[in-house]
Amino acid sequence: MMVSDIVLERVIFMDKYFEEAVNLAKVGVENNEGGPFGAVVVKNGEVVGRGNNKVLINNDPTAHAEVVAIRDACRNLNTYDLTDCIIYSTSEPCPMCLSSIIWSNIKTVYFSSDRKEVSSIGFRDDLIYKYFEENKKDILNATKCENIKCNNLLKEYKNTIY
């Protein structure tokens, strides 16, 4: 097999996964479940998790397509560790979704629309990026407070696992 054949094969598979993610997003929009976002988690060439944005239908601001797909993959694989999985998303994952992807040990993400394109249709991911970049207190005022009970909770947990 030549390099160009390998690249072509990869593009064909990517198109297949993106097509499924797009179809999930379209169904979600048609059913008024949430925004135009879909995602699939793939392991060894097989789709193991599917998700579309379900923020509206679930009244859950965390029910983004990537998170829904990760939850589905974890349920289907009976593990929280998605090492060796790849996620395909119709749009660039927001910071919350990126965190979920990292926590689940997925190391590869493919996406199509970027954050600027998503912002241009009214989604507010830019607020989160501004918060991280500029520590904007008008977006979120997060303050570290000392509490002995909270601190002890971590110490007690650490002692149970080590």
- pTM listed for this prediction: 0.86
The residues annotated with a catalytic role in the active site are 66
> Exposure pattern of 87-125 as b/e (b: 16+ CB <10 Å)?
bbbbbbbbeebeebbeebebeebebeeebeebeeeebeb
Cα 24 from Cα 90, distance rounded (Å): 10
**Residue 85 pairs with which residues in a beta bridge?**
43
Q: Write the pLDDT tens digit of every residue in 18-54.
A: 999 999 999 999 999 999 999 999 999 999 999 999 9
> pLDDT by residue (tens digit) across 98-124?
999 999 999 999 999 999 999 899 888
Angle at alpha carbon of residue 111, lines to 109 and 112, rounded to 5°: 165
pLDDT tens column, 51-100 = 999 999 999 999 999 999 999 999 999 999 999 999 999 999 999 999 99
